[in-house]
Every structure is written in structure tokens, then in C-alpha cells.
Amino acid sequence: MSPGEPVAPELRELPDRELVVRCQRNESRAFDELVTRHQDRVYTAVTRFCGNAEDAADIVQRAFINAFRKIQEFKGDSAFSTWIYRIAFNQAISFRRENRRPGVSIYSKDDEKVVEPAVDANPTEKLEGEETQKKVQQALEMLEEGDRQIILLKDLQGHSYDEIASIMQIPKGTVRSRLHRARLELKSKLKSYIGTLK
Amino acid sequence: MNCAFDKEKLTGYYDGELEAAEKAEVERHIASCSECLRELGELKSAAILVKELPRLRAPRSVAEGVAREMQAAGKVHSFARMRRTILWGSAAAAALFIGLNIMYFSAADRSPSAPAMARTPAPVTVVGKIQQAEELQNNAAPPKEAGAERRALADRAAAADEGKLRENRKQVPELKEQEKADVAKKVEAMPAERARDKAGDGLAKGAAEPTAPPKPTAAPPGAAAPAPAPAPVAKPAPEAAEKSATKKDAVESLTRAEADLKSKRGAAADPVVAAEAPPTHLTLASTQIAKARPQVEEALRKMGVALPPPAPPPAKMMKAPAARETETTIALDLTDAQIARLRQELDKPGSSRLLAAAPGDPVLAEFRDGRVFGRKEPSGVASGGGAQAGKSRELGKADPKPEAKAEAPKDARESKDLDAAPADKAPEARRRVILHLIEVPYVPDTQPAPDSLKK
């Protein structure tokens, strides 16, 4: 399948598990469907995690390629989304450790990448919203990788504790404690901003 | 910050991840603890700030890069798949080939029941056996494989050969019975002869000794086994012979008859040997080969034998010596008397000499040295040798051997007998004579010849 070619319509209605099975039968169109379904969410999480859009694109691309290469090893014990998030975050952590460089903020470039405005308001509110997003992003980037990852998985992506435990490969009880600690840390970073919001 | 409540439960309460009991506990606590209620609010505000971050769309480069990688991997996969397919196909073809071979050979061993029966020996004639095999072949199911047909044909041929062999074996007892019958006849004739001997003993006393039954003439050198002559005892003996027959003669005749029977039996067992007797080779060594052939023609013309056209010399019979320039081979069918006459005609003083030897005989080498007319005779020259016996014999007047000397008048007598032979005599058996005409150089003899040769 050539890049950009539309995915077959019948594949759009199949669940991830069926698509994975088809991928394991060397049906490449099924994996294209999986990429189409999950690339934006993974890209958003990785971009918030890395703080760099270009690195995030490379990381997400590598993550999907690795998933394609290892699709035969996927047993289906967890959801494909959980699996691809784990691959992507591990890829991102490795990438950041290998490339110690100052990150390029996602807000330093065009804003066309933003598909869902956080605040649908007037221009003044829009400016205030962008400022808030920058502050939140900066606060996230100041967190430890684990805290940042768990906040993004829970608050940005809306995963459950079980999914987070699966992605981060930690116990479910640990998820709540680490998430509580991460939120306290993020709250301390955004204390002044949170106070203004009040 | 003095509340000792488990604050993590506030996070779980906000995320909705608490059990009902914990949830109720948290609700009861925050209802009474302003501090925990304020902290729950701050956690909720931080989570909302993150949740309100905009979602991003992945650039096209992500999907394109993944697609390229998938294509490259797909080629590898397709190559691996093709390789796997080829391997499996080859294995399947090999298995099919082996299976077909096994089926073919197993079917070929089982199906032809008729040839298997034909192989079993049965006491029937050849024709009957072939008919039986054909009937079985027709009654049996047609063989599915071509190999079975071939095998049936081979079995049929083997059965025919076996029948021929059986017929030959059947002839052996018949010959034995015939031989026994002949011997019995001779034995029966023996007492009659004895009785006649005894009866006529007094009457014939003082009478002249009866001539012995004519012995068969000794076979000339190189001749084949003589044709079986009729046993004298089987013929009605003349009265004079009956009267003068002795026991010794009877025993001799019996022995001769047995020898004849043996020769007859040998001829029946191996007719090829009796039919093809080796030819007699005679070599005419001449210093003038041009005159040799007219000389031979003249001699044969006198005997009434036409000379066949000249044939190329057989390469196998000659060793092609360097001194010999020309050589002619003449094949003739002559009687013994004609051979003797030919010897007389050709072995005259002059430029040629007739030798009972093949061109390859070593004795001729000495004659090729130019001593055709020399007095020195080759050593090792033996009489009575044919070419096939590996011995040679010089024929003619110069032969110093007494045997040859004794044979010369005998040959002359035979030739005279031949000339005076009555016409009503049975035609004499002919034999194959190969006459070789070779040219030898002339070397004058410097030493004086002995007196005996001069005479």
C-alpha cells in the first residue's frame, strides 16, 4: 500500500483485535488502519511528553514500525492502544536519553497542529488559553518522566488505572500513588497559575 | 495540613477508581475536613489544565514512513514467503515422485499374474505353453502398466526358450536309444560272424587270408573330421569276408562302429563343428609371382577346375612381411586327389615351391630369405601339419624328410588312381583349400648342393 492511500472502508469498522489478527496474517492494510486510528493520540501524548513536535513525529513513526515488526509477537492480552503507547513511551524515553538537547516547544512553530482548541472563546480568552497551555506544558516538562507520563496517560488520554498499569508495567496501586504525587508536583508548578484561574 | 487522612484516596476519588466503601469514606471525610476538600479541588484543577491541552494531529510523515517501512518489510516477507513456498513445493514434488515410484513398482510386482504363472515350469510343449500363456494373458485383466506388458513378453520368450531346451533334451534319449540299437545290432551280428567263422573255419583252412576291411584313408593334414562312413558291420558282408573274418576283425569293426556313433553323436550335439571344417592352407612361394598365377590356372585347367577371380588377400591371415611385395589368395574346393594333383603340377623344378603352410607360418620366413631353391631346409619343419595345426610341411622333391618322401609317391599314386578312377564311383568329398601365392626374392645358392639333392 502506498502512503496516503485510503484505507479500505471495511477495515474501519473492525475492532483493534481483529485488525491485529489480520496484521498477523500479513495483511498490511489492517496495520494501516491501526496507524490511522492511533497515530494522532499517540503523537499528542508523545509530543506532550517530549515537548518537541519533530522528535515526537520520529518517535511515533519508529514506534509504529516497531509495532509492525513485532506484531506477530503480540498475544492480545491487552489492547493494541495500550501496547502502542507502551512502545511509544519507551521509544521516547530512549530517544531523550540518546539525544540530550534542548527541546523545541510545540508552541514555537505554527499552531496548525492543534486540532482541538482547548478553549473555544473570544480572542482574549483564546490568548489566555494559549498562555495557560504554555504554562501547563512547561510545568509538565519540568516533571520527572514517570510523573509526566502518568499524568499524560490519565489526564490527557483518559486511560484507566489498569491501562496505565499495563502501559507503564507497574502495579495498579502504584498508579494511584504515583499519580497523586505527580499531580501534587504539577499543582506546585502551576500554583501561581492555578491561583489566578481561581 | 494536620489531617492524617490518606490523600491518595482523594486522587482515586477524583478519578473514580475507588471502591464504594472507600468512596463513601472519602465523601464522609471531605464533608467534615476543609483541608482535604481544598486539596481535592487543587488536584482537580491541575488535572483539568492537562485535560484541556489541545489534541495534536500527527504529521503525514509518520504514516508515510510507516508505509515505506511496511513495503520494504513486505518485500522481505514476500521473498521469505516465496522461499518458503518454493521449499514446500519442492518437498511436495519430491514426496509425490517417491510416492508414484512406490505405487508404480508395487503395482508392477502385483498385477501381472499371468506371467507369474508362465514362469512356473510345466511339462508342456512350446506351442502349448505359448497358447497357455496367451490364454492366461487374455483371461487375465489387462495390465495397467507398460512394464507389465514388457515383462509378460519377456516371460513368454523365456518360456519358448525353455521349450526349445526341453525339446533338445528330449532328443538326447532318442539318440541314446538309437545308439543302443546300433550297438545291439552289431552285437547280434557278432555271434553270427563267429558262428560263420567257426563253421567255415575248416572249409576255408589254407585259403588265402581275407583282406581286411578297407580302412578309411588317413585324413590328409589339416582336413576336418572325416564324414561318418557306414559301419562295415551294418552292411551285408561279402561271403569271402564272412569266411575270413576273425575275432580281431570283429572287435576292430565294433570299435570302429562305436567311434562312428560317437562322431555321429558329436555331430548331432554340435552340428556347427562338423559343418565348418577349417580350410587347408597351401602356399606357393615363387620368385616370379607373375608366372605363378598362370601356372596355377594351367594346373587347375588340366584338372577341370575353373579358377575363381582373384580376391583381395585377407588381412587377418597375413602378417604382411616387409620383403613380400605381392601376394594372391585363391580359394578352391578340391578333392584330396585334386589336391595331390595340384601338388604335382605346381611343385615342379622352376621358380616356385609349394608348401603346406599358411602365410603366417614361421617356416615361410626362411623361404622369404631367398632360399626357395637352396639346399638348407628350415628347421622344425614337420610333416602332416595343416595351417591350423601350426606346423608346415614342404612339399616337393627337395623335401629331405622321409615322411614327405614317402608321401610323394603316395600322392603320385593317388593322382594316378584319380586319373584311372571309374566314373561310377561316388563323388569324393571336397574340402576348402586356400592357395596363397607369395613372391620371394631370388638369391643364388653359392654353396654346392649335396649330391643327393643334385640327383
Q: What is the pLDDT of residue B217?
A: 43
Helix, strand, coil abundance in chain B, percent, nearest 5: 55, 10, 35
For B7-28, what is the mean pLDDT?
Answer: 92
- Contact check, Cβ <8 Å, B55/A41: yes
Whole-angstrom Cα distance, residue A159 to residue A21? 24
Sheet with B430-439, side-by-side order of all strands: B327-335, B430-439, B280-286, B352-356, B393-394
Could you please report the per-residue DSSP string of B309-332?
Answer: PPBPPPSTT----SS---EEEEEE
Whether A150 and chain B come into contact, CB under 8 Å, resolves to: no
B336 in helix, strand or coil? helix
Mind listing the pLDDT tens digit for each residue in B431-454? 788 888 777 776 555 445 445 444
Mutate to test the interface with A, among B19, B35, B53 (most CBs of A within 10 A): B53
Cα B40–B43–B48 angle (5° rounding)?
Answer: 125
Neighbour-count burial for B92-120, b at 16+ CB within 10 Å, e otherwise? eeeeeeeeeeeeeeeebeebbebbbebee
What mean pLDDT do residues A91-97 have? 88
CB-nearest partner of A154 from B15, B60, B77: B15
Cβ–Cβ pairs < 8 A, chains A and B:
150
Percentage of chain B surpassing pLDDT 70? 39
* Per-position DSSP letters for B382-427, written without gaps between them: -TT--TTTT--EE-STT---HHHHHHHHHHHHHHHHHHT--TTSPP
CB contact under 8 A, A160 and B66: no
pLDDT-derived band of residue A126, with 50, 70 and 90 as boundaries? confident
**CA dihedral of B399, B401, B407, B412, whole degrees rounded to 10:** 30
Over 90: is that where the pLDDT of A62 sits? yes
Phi/psi of residue A28, nearest 5 degrees = -70, -25
Q: Choose from A148, A149, A187 for mutation: most chain B CBs within 10 A.
A: A187
Task: Provide, rounded to the nearest whole percent, the portion of chain B with pLDDT above 90.
Answer: 11
**Which of A176, A180, A185, A191 to substitute to test the interface with B, most B CBs within 10 Å?**
A180
Task: Looking at the complex, report in whole angstroms how far the Cα of residue A51 sits from the nearest Cα belonging to chain B.
Answer: 12
Alpha-carbon distance of B5 to B334, in angstroms, equals 150
| C-beta separation of B216 from B229 below 8 A | yes
The answer for residues whose C-beta is within 8 angstroms of residue B75's C-beta and 6 or more apart is none
CB A173, CB B18: distance < 8 Å: no
Write down the H helix ranges in B120-226.
Answer: 126-139, 146-201
Give the mean model confidence (pLDDT) for residues B247-261.
Answer: 58
User: Is the CB of A138 inside 8 Å of chain B's CB atoms?
Assistant: no
**Partner-chain residue, chosen from B45, B64, B66, that has the shortest CB–CB distance to A68:** B66
Q: Residue A65: which region, alpha, beta or left (left: phi > 0; alpha: psi -120 to 50)?
A: alpha
Mean pLDDT of A33-61: 92
Ranked by mean pLDDT, the top range of A19-33, B339-353, B391-405 is A19-33
* Best mutation target, B22, B36, B49, to test chain A (most A CBs within 10 A): B49
Quick one: cell of B268?
548331432
Q: Which of these, A36, A10, A32, A31, lies nearest to A21 by C-alpha position?
A: A31
Q: Are B50 and A156 inside 8 Å of each other by CB?
A: yes
- pLDDT for res B397: 40
CA B128 to chain centre: 30
Question: How confident is residue B428, by pLDDT bands cut at 50, 70 and 90?
Answer: low
Task: List, for residues B313-361, the tens digit of each pLDDT value.
Answer: 544 444 444 444 455 778 888 888 888 887 777 766 566 777 777 766 6
Cell triple for B92: 511436495
User: Does residue A109 register a pLDDT over 60?
Assistant: no
Q: Give the model's pLDDT for residue B405.
A: 41
> By C-alpha distance, which of A50, A130, A154, A36 is closest to A95?
A50
Confidence of residue A191 (pLDDT cuts 50, 70, 90): confident
Q: Would you identify the CATH topology of the domain A119-198?
A: Arc Repressor Mutant, subunit A (1.10.10)
Of B429 and A163, the structure prediction assigns the larger pLDDT to A163
Residue A116 φ then ψ, to 5°: -125, 100
CA dihedral (A189, A193, A197, B4) positive or negative: positive
Q: Do B53 and A154 touch (CB under 8 A)?
A: no
Provide the greatest CA pair distance for chain A.
55
Mean pLDDT of B259-281: 54
Indicate the residue of B46, B56, B69 with minimum beta-carbon distance to A114: B56
Cβ neighbours of B67 in A, within 8 Å: 1-4, 32
Q: Indicate the Cα dihedral angle B317, B322, B324, B325, nearest 10°.
A: 110
Contact at CB, A186 and B46, closer than 8 angstroms: yes
Query: What cell does A131 get?
Result: 498562555
Tell me whether domains A11-116 and A119-198 share a fold: no
Separation between Cα atoms, residue A168 and residue A82, nearest integer Å: 9
B50/A47 CB distance under 8 A: no
Mean pLDDT of A155-169: 93
CB A79 within 8 A of CB A39: no
Residue A98 pLDDT level (bands cut at 50, 70, 90): confident
- How far off is chain B from A100, nearest CA to CA, in Å? 22
Taking alpha carbons only, the member of B139, B191, B201, B129 closest to residue B160 is B129
Q: Is the pLDDT of residue B98 over 50?
A: yes
CB contact, 8 Å: A7 with chain B? no
Cα–Cα distance for residue pair B248/B235, rounded to 1 Å: 18
Whether the CB-CB separation of A80 and A17 falls below 8 Å is answered with yes
Mark yes or no for CB contact B62/A60 under 8 Å. Answer: yes
Rounded to whole angstroms, the Cα distance separating B274 from B266 reads 8
C-alpha cell of residue B397: 622333391
Chain B residues touching chain A at CB-CB below 8 Å: 7-8, 10-12, 15, 17, 42-43, 45-71, 73-74, 77, 81
What's the mean per-residue pLDDT of chain B? 64
Residue type at B347 in one-letter notation: D
What is the model's pTM? 0.43
Segment B359-372 shows an average pLDDT of: 60
pLDDT tens digit string along B38-74?
Answer: 999 988 988 998 998 999 999 988 888 888 888 887 6
**Domain A11-116's class?**
mainly alpha
Looking up cell 558291420, which residue turns up?
Answer: B233
How close, in Å, is residue B155 to chain A by CA atoms?
60
- Give me the residues of A, 75-104, that contact B with CB < 8 A: none
For residue B174, how far is the Cα from the chain centroid?
30
pLDDT at B421: 41
Extents of the domains making up chain A:
11-116, 119-198
Q: How many CB atoms lie within 10 A of CB A195?
A: 10
Q: In this model, does residue B87 exceed pLDDT 70?
A: yes
Q: Which of B273-282, B300-309, B354-363 has the highest mean pLDDT?
A: B300-309
- What are the residues whose beta carbons fall under 8 Å from the beta carbon of B281, sequence distance 6 or more? B222, B317, B356, B357, B358, B359, B386, B387, B388, B433, B434, B436
